[in-house]
Structure 1
Amino acid sequence: MKHRFIFPLLISVALIIAACGGAPATQQSEAPTAAPAAEATTAPAAEPTAAPAEEPAAEPTAAPAEASADGKEFHGAWPYVLPPKGHYNSFVTDFLGFGIYQDLLETPLATYDWANAQFIPWLGTEWTMDEDNWFTVKLREGVKWSDGSDFTSQDVVTTFYLARVMSHAAWRYIDQVEAPDATTVRFHFSTPSSVAPRFILKLFIRPHSVYGELGERAQALANEPADSEANQALRQELTEFRPAEYVTNGPYKLDHSSITSSRLTLVRNEGGFNADKVAFDRIVLFWGETPDITPVVLSKEVDYATHGFPPATEKSFIDNGLRIIRPATVSGPAIFFNYNNVHLAKPEVRQAMAYAVKRDENGIVSLGESGVAVKYMTGFSDSMVPVWMSEGDIAKLNTYDYDPAKAEELLTAAGYTKGGDGVWAGPDGRLEFELTAPAEFADWSAAAENLAQQLTAFGIATTFRGVQFQQHVQDVQQGNFVLAIRGWGAGNPHPFFSYEADLLTFNPPVSPGPGMNFPFTQTVNGTEVDFNALITATAEGMDEEAQKAAVTELALAFNQLLPIVPLWERYGNNPALEGVRVASFPPDDDPIWLNPVYADNPVVILLMDGRLQPAN
C-alpha cells in the first residue's frame, strides 16, 4: 500500500463538515507545542491579563498595515518563547516554539488531508506495510538543511532514537528503526497499530548534523529499557543541550537576528523542501497571546491568527473588515485534578463538580456560540462518539446535566456536610481549592473565572489565579497546582490521541514531574481497570471493530470516574486578512477547512504547496 494509509477517519470527516459552520475558538491549540519537559522554572505566576469575553475589544495600537516591498510577506502570530529562556532544542521544554508553523521549518514526512482521509507526502514520498510488520518509508531526494547538509535517512534515524529517549508515543508501537540506504527508512512494529503511521509520519525531523552524536548514543542504548539509568542520563543531557542555531529542512529558516519581544522573521531556505513552491519569501510571526495579538490583528498587521478571541473581539474584527474562518478543533478546556489532594482523589467529589456546573453557560461566557458544552463526557469529541460507540453503549453514558441536588446527594453520601458558611466539609477538611489557568488565554481564563464562581456558589470554595501560560504548563507538569484548566481532546479522529492529551500528557513518564499523579489502576463497578493498558488497547492492531471495543470500555470507565472534567468543545474563530499581503483564502466550503486548526493546519498546508498567493 502506498501513501494512502487510512485512519478510522472516513466517517469522522462528515461530522467535521457539520462542525465547520460553527463558531469561534479553541484550547490547547493556543499553547506552543512542547515535547516532554525539563525542570519547571521558578518564575512567579502572573495575574490574569485577559479581559472577560463581554468586555469591548482593544483598539488598534500598531501602525496601519503595509504590504512588504515585493508583496511576498505573510504575517502570522504565535506566542514563541522569548530568549534567553527560549532556545533551539526542539525536543524539550522552552524550545523557541513556532506552533503550527513548525511544519515549515522541521518538516515531517507527511501531513494529513482530512477531506480525503489520506496523508500528503512531504519528506516521505511513499510508504508501505511490508511482511513481518516492517513499515518502509521512501524519502525525498535533493532536500538540503539550512546548514548545507543533505537530508538523508540518518536524520530520520537520529530523530526517532532521540524521540525514544524522550518517551515519544511512537515507541509504544515500534521497537527498531533502520536505514538500509540514504533514502529509505524502515520501522519495525512490535505492536501493529492503525495510529502508529501518524506518529511516524507526523514527527518533526531533526538534523543529524546537530543531534548526531546524541542520536548515535541513543541508538546504542536501544536494547536497554527506556527508563534505564543510562537512558535517563542521556535524556537529561539532551534536555540540557542547546544548539547554537536552529537548522531546518523546510521551505523556511529562522533569521536568528530578527528575534525580538514583538516579532521574528522566517526567510526562504533555498534547497529546503518546497522552497521553490512557496509563494512568500518571508513569514513574520508576531509574538503574543490573545491580549497581545488582538490590537495587532485590528491594525491589520496580521494575516491569520489562531488564538481564542472573545465574542466582542471577534465582532470588532468583522466590523474592521476581517474575515472569520471557523474550522473545528475537536478539543476544549477541562478541569484537571491533582490526585495528591485527598478530596479530589474521590470520584464522588469530581462527579459532584460536574453536576454543579452549567457547562453551557461556561462555554457561552468564554466564547459565545463557539464554546459548545460537552454532552457525553467520554474524554473525546461528542462528534466522534457515534463513530466509535454503539447506540446501546451511548445510552449508558452519564451526561451529567446540571443538577445541584444530585451533586449534594453525592457529597452527602461521601461524608460531607454543608457548614454554616455555605462551604461543604468532611473528615479531611473543607472543599476549598485554588484553580489556575493560563492568564493570557482569554477563553480559558474566562472559563476558569466563571467555573470558580459557579463552584463557590454551590459550596465548593474556589479561587481563580491566572498564571503565565508557559509557566502554567510547567506548574501542572510538576504537580504545582490543585485544580487547573488544561486541554482535553486532540485534533485527530482516533480517540487514542484524545486520551493521550487527557491522561498521558500530565502524568509520568511523559510528564517530567508528578503532574496529576493520577493512579492508572482504578476500580470501576467493582472491577480493576488499568487505564494505561486500555489507552494502548484502543490503538492496537488494524481491526477497527476490536479497537471500538477497547474505546467503548475506556469511554464508559472515563465517564464514570471523570479523571478530568471536560467543559466545552471549541471551534476556531480565526481572523483572516485578505487583499493586503494575501490575495485571498479559499472559500468557506473548500475541503481544506476540514483540517483542524492545530493538528494539520489548513493555512500551513496552503503555504507549503503554494496555493496561498501574495496580494500583488
Structure 2
Amino acid sequence: MRRLLSVLLVLMLVTGALAGCGQKSQEAADKTQQSETAQQPAQETTYQRNETLYAGGGLWAPPSNWNPLTPWNAVTGTVGLIYETLFNYDPLKNEFIPWLAEKGEWTSDNTYQVTLRDGLTWSDGQPLTSEDVKFTFEIAKEHPEIYYSPMWQWLQSVDTPDNKTVVFKFSTSHYHEWQYNLYQIPIIPKHIWQNKSKDDLLNGANEKAIGSGPYLFDTYSNDRMVYKRNDNWWGIKALGLTPQPKRIVYLIVPSNNVALGMLMKGELDVSNFFLPGIPTLKANYGITTFYDNPPYMIPDNTVFMFINVTKEPLSNVELRRAMAYAINPKVIAEKVYENQVEPSNPLGFVPAKSWEEYYDKNVVSQYGFSYDPNKAKAILDAAGFKLGNDGVRTTPDGKKFKLEISVPYGWTDWMEAAKIVADQLKAVGIDAEAKFPDYSKYWEDLTKGTFDLSFNNFGSQVTSTPWTLYNWLFNPITGDAQYNGNFGRFDVEGLQDMVAALNEAKPGTDEAKKAASKLEEVFLKNIPAIPLWYNGLWFQASNAAWENWPTEHDPYAYPVTWGGRWQTGGTMMMMKIKPKASQ
C-alpha cells in the first residue's frame, strides 16, 4: 500500500522541518488544509510557569482539527499526546518501545501477534481492548477513503481471541511497511467512533478528542493549542512514567525571529525552528542543543534535488552524473546553515542506526560520486556537451539549454542554497538559474512534472527502515500528478518489483540487504535525484523554566514536537524533563 506510506511520510515532514526558514512548508500545508480562523472557546489563561511547557515549531494555523483519521490536518500532538500507537520508536537507538502493546511478534511468516498491556483505558474511563485495535484497522476496510485502507490489499484478517490479543494475518507479508505502521497508526476508541457518519469520520474536526494518551484536549485559541495532563493515564502505573508538565501550550510563532526572541527571554521552552547564531545562544543564554558542537542538530532528513528525467537534455544520464560531481553541498552547510547541517552521502541515507546496516559501501564505491568539478567537466566533454566561447555548454546536437532550480519563495535557506547550486553548475558550463515561485506554484510544478530541477525532502526523514526512502524516491508513476515522491518520473524495467522485494524481505536479513543494494545501484547508476544535505532536527531548549533536556550525553529521547512525530521522542521527552529547581 504505497499510498498509505507516502501520505504518512509527507505528513511527517510537511508538518515538521522541511525548510529551515521558519517552517513555511507547514504554513503552506495548513493554509490549504485548515480553516484560516478558529473559534475561541476559552479566554487565554496565565498558567503556573513551573507546571507549563511552551513549545513552537509545528503549528502554523489556528487549531481546528484533532481527527486521527486525517492526521495531515490534525493539530500537532493529536497523535502522540491524545491518541497513541501500538509501539513508539526511538530513532537514536533504533528501538521499538512497547506502548499500548506489551509485545508484538511474528508467529509465522504471515502472522503477527500483538499482546496489549493490562489496564489500558481511554480518557473517559472505558477500557481499551483488542476490539479497539481490530476496529481501528477494520474501519479502513469498510471505508476505503481512509488513508491506510490500501493495507487491506495485503492484510487478510484481524482476529481477537481475547481482550488482550490481536492476530494479524497477511496474504503477503510487507515486513518493512508493517514495521513502520506499528508506530504510525493511532488506535481509536470503538465505542466513540463506531457510530460516526462517514462525513464525521473523514471530515469531522473531532473537537474535545477522547484518546488514551498522557494528555487531554484542554482548550485552544487562534494562536495556541493547550493540552492538559491526564492524571489517570494508564502509563503512570504500567510504564512507570509520569508526564511532567501539567499543561503543554503549543504556540503559533509567526517567524524564526520571533521564536529566537522568545527563546532568549525564556518565553519559549522548546523550539523546533531553524535558528541562526547557535554558538551565541548557547554561550550567552544557556540554550541547550542536542550536540555541544557542530552540527548541534541531529540529522533528520535529506534534501534532494529532483531532476525531471522526462525533459531534454535532463533525460541524458551523463548530464545528471556530471551535475552530481559539480555540486559541493559543503558550501551550503557552511554559508547557509552555519554548519548546523552536514553534506549528504551519495545515497541520501540519513546517518541513523536503522539505515546504516543497509548502506552498501561497495555499491557506493563503484557507482557513487563526490564533489569534483574537473570530473564533471570531463563527463560533459565525453558526452558531447560542448563548451562555447561564452563558457556555456550546448547539447550534443548543438542546442542551447538553460536549467531552472525551483524552491518556494520565502524559504530563505533553500533560496540561498539554490543560488549556490546554480553557481556551481555554471562553473562547469551548465547554464542554471535559481527560481523562487510561491509555494502553490512550486508544488504544482513539482507534482505535474513541469519543473527542471527542484529541491524537496518530504519523504526522506529517518524511519525504522530505508524502504520508506525508496518507496518515496521510486514511487510508481500512476497519472498526471506525482504527489507522493518520484517527482522526476524516473522508471526502469522491474523497479517496482525491486522495491517490493525489499519490503517483503525480513528486516536485517541478508536478503533484505541484497534487495536494498539493488535499489542503491539503480539510484546511483541513473541519478534521478541528487542528495544535497541533511536537514536537521532543529531543537533548541531554554533552561529558564525546564531542564534535563535530551542531549548527546543523555540521549533518552528524540527531541521532536512536529506533527506525526511525537511518538518518536516528543512524548518521552515530556516524561523526563524537570521543572527548574530555582523557580
TM-score range, shorter chain: 0.7 to 0.9
Give 1:98 deviation, angstroms.
0.8
Question: Counterpart of 2:548?
Answer: 584
Question: Counterpart of 2:265?
Answer: 299
Identity of aligned residues (%): 22
Q: Report the CA distance shift for 1:357/1:114 in structure 2 as closer, same or farther (over 3 A).
A: closer
Measure, in 2, the Cα distance between the counterparts of 1:514 and 1:331. 16
Measure, in 1, the Cα distance between the counterparts of 2:271 and 2:290. 10
> Could you tell me which of 178, 186, 191 is aligned with 1:204?
186
Measure, in 2, the Cα distance between the counterparts of 1:390 and 1:245. 48
Measure, in 2, the Cα distance between the counterparts of 1:511 and 1:151. 41
Opposite residue 100 of structure 2, the aligned amino acid is: L
Measure, in 1, the Cα distance between the counterparts of 2:226 and 2:370. 47
> What does residue range 386-401 of structure 1 map to in structure 2 within 5 Å?
387-389=357-359, 392-401=362-371
Give 1:567 deviation, angstroms.
0.5
Structure 1 unaligned spans of 5+: 1-24, 44-65, 218-236, 523-527
Give 1:604 deviation, angstroms.
2.7
Structure 2 unaligned spans of 5+: 1-15, 36-44, 292-296
> Could you tell me which of 243, 251, 258 is aligned with 1:278?
243
| 1:378 and 2:347 matched | yes
> Could you tell me which of 75, 92, 97 is aligned with 1:97?
75
Give 1:393 deviation, angstroms.
3.6
Give 1:555 deviation, angstroms.
0.8
Q: Report the CA distance shift for 1:585/1:515 in structure 2 as closer, same or farther (over 3 A).
A: closer
Q: Report the CA distance shift for 1:211/1:271 in structure 2 as closer, same or farther (over 3 A).
A: same
Give 1:535 deviation, angstroms.
2.1
Q: Secondary structure at the match of 1:343?
A: coil
Measure, in 1, the Cα distance between the counterparts of 2:523 and 2:534. 17
Q: Secondary structure at the match of 1:334?
A: strand
> Could you tell me which of 206, 217, 234 is aligned with 1:254?
217
Measure, in 2, the Cα distance between the counterparts of 1:419 and 1:168. 55
Q: Report the CA distance shift for 1:102/1:443 in structure 2 as closer, same or farther (over 3 A).
A: farther
> Could you tell me which of 497, 500, 504 is aligned with 2:471?
500
Measure, in 1, the Cα distance between the counterparts of 2:91 and 2:526. 32
Measure, in 1, the Cα distance between the counterparts of 2:75 and 2:321. 36
Task: Indicate if the aligned counterparts of 2:322 and 2:379 stay in contact, CA closer than 8 A.
Answer: yes
Task: Indicate if the aligned counterparts of 2:34 and 2:73 stay in contact, CA closer than 8 A.
Answer: no
Task: Indicate if the aligned counterparts of 1:39 and 1:512 stay in contact, CA closer than 8 A.
Answer: no
Q: Secondary structure at the match of 1:98?
A: coil
1:11-67 CA distance string (max 9 Å, x none): xxxxxxxxxxxxxx9757986999xx9997899xxxxxxxxxxxxxxxxxxxxxx99
Question: Counterpart of 1:606?
Answer: 573
Opposite residue 374 of structure 1, the aligned amino acid is: S
1:250-287 CA distance string (max 9 Å, x none): 1223334x232x33222224544547821211101122
Q: Report the CA distance shift for 1:315/1:271 in structure 2 as closer, same or farther (over 3 A).
A: same
Question: Counterpart of 1:333?
Answer: 303
Question: Counterpart of 1:309?
Answer: 275
Question: Counterpart of 1:368?
Answer: 338
Task: Indicate if the aligned counterparts of 1:28 and 1:486 stay in contact, CA closer than 8 A.
Answer: no
> Could you tell me which of 407, 410, 423 is aligned with 2:376?
407
Measure, in 1, the Cα distance between the counterparts of 2:478 and 2:251. 34
Question: Counterpart of 1:228?
Answer: none
Give 1:576 deviation, angstroms.
1.4
Question: Counterpart of 1:108?
Answer: 85
Measure, in 2, the Cα distance between the counterparts of 1:32 and 1:190. 41
> Could you tell me which of 288, 301, 309 is aligned with 1:323?
288
Give 1:605 deviation, angstroms.
1.0
Task: Indicate if the aligned counterparts of 1:27 and 1:332 stay in contact, CA closer than 8 A.
Answer: no
1:523-547 CA distance string (max 9 Å, x none): xxxxx4x332222222323261111
1:91-124 CA distance string (max 9 Å, x none): 447504316x731122111112456654222222
1:499-519 CA distance string (max 9 Å, x none): 234343x96599874864554
Task: Indicate if the aligned counterparts of 1:267 and 1:282 stay in contact, CA closer than 8 A.
Answer: yes
Opposite residue 424 of structure 2, the aligned amino acid is: Q
Measure, in 2, the Cα distance between the counterparts of 1:109 and 1:486. 30
Q: Report the CA distance shift for 1:244/1:611 in structure 2 as closer, same or farther (over 3 A).
A: closer
| 1:265 and 2:226 matched | yes
Opposite residue 491 of structure 1, the aligned amino acid is: V
Question: Counterpart of 1:191?
Answer: 172
Question: Counterpart of 1:225?
Answer: none
| 1:74 and 2:53 matched | yes
1:369-394 CA distance string (max 9 Å, x none): 3322223x123236767633555444
> Could you tell me which of 72, 75, 100 is aligned with 1:123?
100
Give 1:298 deviation, angstroms.
2.5
Measure, in 2, the Cα distance between the counterparts of 1:467 and 1:494. 33
Question: Counterpart of 1:536?
Answer: 500
Measure, in 2, the Cα distance between the counterparts of 1:392 and 1:569. 22
Q: Report the CA distance shift for 1:560/1:475 in structure 2 as closer, same or farther (over 3 A).
A: same
Q: Secondary structure at the match of 1:136?
A: strand
Task: Indicate if the aligned counterparts of 2:179 and 2:464 stay in contact, CA closer than 8 A.
Answer: no
Q: Report the CA distance shift for 1:118/1:239 in structure 2 as closer, same or farther (over 3 A).
A: same
Task: Indicate if the aligned counterparts of 2:474 and 2:485 stay in contact, CA closer than 8 A.
Answer: no
> What does residue range 553-592 of structure 1 map to in structure 2 within 5 Å?
553-572=518-537, 574-578=539-543, 580-586=544-550, 588-592=552-556
Question: Counterpart of 2:207?
Answer: 245
Measure, in 1, the Cα distance between the counterparts of 2:447 and 2:283. 38
Question: Counterpart of 1:232?
Answer: none
Give 1:173 deviation, angstroms.
5.7
Aligned length: 530
Task: Indicate if the aligned counterparts of 1:32 and 1:80 stay in contact, CA closer than 8 A.
Answer: no
Question: Counterpart of 1:344?
Answer: 314
Opposite residue 319 of structure 1, the aligned amino acid is: N
Q: Report the CA distance shift for 1:177/1:265 in structure 2 as closer, same or farther (over 3 A).
A: same
Q: Secondary structure at the match of 2:259?
A: helix
> What does residue range 435-446 of structure 1 map to in structure 2 within 5 Å?
435-439=405-409, 441=411, 443-446=413-416
Task: Indicate if the aligned counterparts of 1:68 and 1:581 stay in contact, CA closer than 8 A.
Answer: no
Give 1:441 deviation, angstroms.
5.0
Q: Report the CA distance shift for 1:115/1:79 in structure 2 as closer, same or farther (over 3 A).
A: closer
Question: Counterpart of 1:137?
Answer: 114
Measure, in 2, the Cα distance between the counterparts of 1:453 and 1:28. 21
1:189-233 CA distance string (max 9 Å, x none): 333354323322432234445654689x9xxxxxxxxxxxxxxxx
Measure, in 1, the Cα distance between the counterparts of 2:286 and 2:369. 40
Give 1:566 deviation, angstroms.
0.4
Q: CA RMSD, aligned part only?
A: 4.2
Q: Report the CA distance shift for 1:583/1:388 in structure 2 as closer, same or farther (over 3 A).
A: closer
1:410-435 CA distance string (max 9 Å, x none): 44555544566654444696543443
Opposite residue 572 of structure 2, the aligned amino acid is: I
Task: Indicate if the aligned counterparts of 1:478 and 1:515 stay in contact, CA closer than 8 A.
Answer: no
Q: Secondary structure at the match of 1:489?
A: coil
Task: Indicate if the aligned counterparts of 1:153 and 1:179 stay in contact, CA closer than 8 A.
Answer: yes
> Could you tell me which of 225, 249, 252 is aligned with 1:287?
252
Measure, in 1, the Cα distance between the counterparts of 2:30 and 2:252. 23
Measure, in 1, the Cα distance between the counterparts of 2:485 and 2:550. 41
1:165-206 CA distance string (max 9 Å, x none): 425786676343334444432222333354323322432234
**TM-score, scaled relative to structure 2:** 0.76
Which range moves more in the overlay, 129-138 or 238-247?
A: 238-247
Task: Indicate if the aligned counterparts of 1:127 and 1:137 stay in contact, CA closer than 8 A.
Answer: yes
